[in-house]
Amino acid sequence: MSESTSIGFAELGLDPRLVDALSTLGYEEPTPIQRETIPPLLDARDLVGQAATGTGKTAAFALPLLQRLAERKGERPTPSALVLVPTRELAMQVAEAVHRYGRALGAKVLPIYGGQSFGQQLRVLKRGVDVVVATPGRALDHINRGTLSFDGLEVVVLDEADEMLDMGFADDLEAILGATPEERQTVLFSATMPGRIATIAKRHLKDPVQVRISREPLPEGASPQVRQTAYVVPRAQKLTALGRVLDMESPEAAIVFCRTRNQVDELTEKLNAHGYRAEALHGGMTQDQRDRVMSKLRSGSADLLAATDVAARGLDVSRLTHVINYDVPSAPESYVHRIGRVGRAGREGVAITLAEPREHRQLRSIEQLTKRKIQVDRVPTVADLRARRLELVRASLRETLLGDDAEGYRVVVESLADEFDPIQVAMAAVKLAQEATGGEVEEVEISDVAPEREQPGGRKRAARKGARGDAARIYIGAGRKAGIGPGDLVGAIAGEAGISGRSIGAIDITDRFCIVEVPEEVADQVIDALRASTIKGKKVTVRRDRGGGS
């Protein structure tokens, strides 16, 4: 073990009461980010830290600000530290952590967030608080009302700064920082470092120490295990593929990540229509709505949560077993945040991604960041699903046979055995048991497609002449006047519907519309995919050609 990794919390210069608290909580030695950040923060330096969730950054900024409390003499009527976080869930988590670390110091910590009684927050503030952990909106409310005093403020921490900016809190952060004392210590943590973060750091931090820490790998055998799988699926068949995956995996509880609020709402509605117990979670919901959703997920009255990245920030649900990316996240760091929701506390987790054919490069970028291979598999077939359901029935029957509560059914079996072979009786019982678990599997196969790769010469290609006997003609309500050429049509159909460009037949482009021939067996798939997407940035009418081209 190197000298740097053998340093304990006591050697970092922390108060013995803090060291004892950490020992009681099971913290044996600092993580890399704690080793790098605690000394400069104890020296009152400003700091910019880039660190992912799970690297120990909460303790990295909490311990130095608690050290300040240990050194303060006399009364502490107003907050000495303000920690700003993007969500209510993270506010509660950080506040709880600071409370645990600083219990022996008598540290008073108050989480402030929307949806909570303003009067209750005000009463606690009047009694005196050492550390306020707040969401930007509610913190600014208190500042504007004059109910949050910064007279004794010494430290401001911006935690998950990139998420706060993504949630639209940029102006709020500027107003809050402008209301705090100029002579303060400012600490900024962010998982990513876009230009906007650098601008804030340049404007509000003074000669900050720069720290960048990757997620620390745990010792061999102790690392949380997350099985990572991707399925390449045409966009038009994603919902079917999701249902197939859920039926195969049978998650205890799962989060399905979506890109937009609208997609969350639409997917939740469709999942419930298909018999799943699903709830939505996104930034457009009130705090009461969010609380009800999380209560359902934690209690087991809901099994699936469709959510956006920002809304799910800070969530920790112990029964969560699966994370499903309905789309490949645009930023590889977002993928890391998502799959970090499972595989905790030694439990195996599962991360599944539904990737469109054109998204294979994003999968490769994720692999480069995580240094882990994502297994690309074919989507389970109808036969796979039938076999899985039979296996579940077999397991249930075996569990019942091993129990001692089936004796009451003996008379039924014996009476039937007088008329039928016992094997026939058992087969009928298995059939009924399978039907009770979901009935017959829909005879819908999902197209087996491969990731799209760049072809020599790019995607542009000439229209082919000649019709096919088994071809369907697709009408697309835009043409040359909309700037559409053969390459646009081939790219849209191959990319959105996930079929090979070689499968596309004759292409006829007029000023106002286009007619494209595709194999009959994928015609509906192509129509659904093009209706759900855009061509040249615009939504267009797509249907089977009625013969007149209009």
Distance, in Å, from the CA atom of 548 to the CA atom of 520, rounded to the nearest integer, reads 19
> Which of 178, 213, 248 lies at the terminal end of a domain, its last residue?
213
**Helical axes 422-436 vs 382-402, angle rounded to 10°:** 110
Which of 84, 202, 74 lies closest to 132, judged by CA? 84
Q: Yes or no: say if 489 and 529 are a contact pair by the CB < 8 Å rule.
A: no
Calculate the alpha carbon distances from 37 to 29, 65, 213, 232, 377 in Å.
14, 12, 10, 42, 42
Query: Quick one: 62 and 41 in the same domain?
Result: yes
DSSP tag of 250: -
- Non-local (6+) Cβ contacts of 440 within 8 A are none
Q: What is the CA radius of gyration of the chain?
A: 29
In a domain, 401, yes or no: yes
Residue type, 245: V
Q: Yes or no: say if 163 and 313 are a contact pair by the CB < 8 Å rule.
A: yes
Torsion of CA 396, 399, 403, 405, to 10 degrees: 0
Query: Quick one: 158 and 261 in the same domain?
Result: no
> Which of 379, 397, 417 lies at the terminal end of a domain, its last residue?
379
Q: Yes or no: say if 478 and 513 are a contact pair by the CB < 8 Å rule.
A: yes
Distance, in Å, from the CA atom of 327 to the CA atom of 362, rounded to the nearest integer, reads 11
| Residues 289-302: tens digit of each pLDDT | 888 888 888 888 88
Q: Yes or no: say if 328 and 422 are a contact pair by the CB < 8 Å rule.
A: no
Query: Quick one: 111 and 137 in the same domain?
Result: yes
Q: Yes or no: say if 158 and 197 are a contact pair by the CB < 8 Å rule.
A: no
Query: Quick one: 412 and 484 in the same domain?
Result: no
Query: Quick one: 75 and 185 in the same domain?
Result: yes
In a domain, 218, yes or no: no
Which of 260, 261, 279 lies closest to 269, judged by CA? 279
Q: Yes or no: say if 63 and 131 are a contact pair by the CB < 8 Å rule.
A: no
Query: Quick one: 206 and 83 in the same domain?
Result: yes
Query: Quick one: 273 and 201 in the same domain?
Result: no
* Residue 66: pLDDT band with limits 50, 70, 90: very high
Mean pLDDT throughout 146-163?
Answer: 92
Which of 154, 203, 148, 206 lies closest to 178, judged by CA? 203
Looking up residue 509, the CATH number of its domain turns out to be 3.30.70.330
Looking up residue 197, the CATH number of its domain turns out to be 3.40.50.300
Distance, in Å, from the CA atom of 337 to the CA atom of 163, rounded to the nearest integer, reads 12
Query: Quick one: 194 and 343 in the same domain?
Result: no
Helix (H, G, I), strand (E, B) or coil at 56: coil
Distance, in Å, from the CA atom of 88 to the CA atom of 444, rounded to the nearest integer, reads 42
What phi, psi does 402 have (nearest 5°)? -75, -15
Number of domains in the chain: 4
Distance, in Å, from the CA atom of 449 to the CA atom of 498, rounded to the nearest integer, reads 6
* Residue 221: pLDDT band with limits 50, 70, 90: very low
Report the range of poorest mean pLDDT among 25-29, 144-148, 439-443, 540-544: 439-443
Query: Quick one: 33 and 52 in the same domain?
Result: yes
Query: Quick one: 15 and 151 in the same domain?
Result: yes
Q: Yes or no: say if 378 and 241 are a contact pair by the CB < 8 Å rule.
A: no
Domain residue limits at 516: 471-544
> Which of 213, 238, 272 lies at the terminal end of a domain, its last residue?
213
What phi, psi does 16 have (nearest 5°)? -55, -35
| Residues 95-121: tens digit of each pLDDT | 988 998 999 998 999 999 877 778 888
Share of the chain above pLDDT 90, in %: 25
| Residues 480-533: tens digit of each pLDDT | 888 888 877 877 787 677 676 667 877 888 888 889 988 887 888 888 888 887
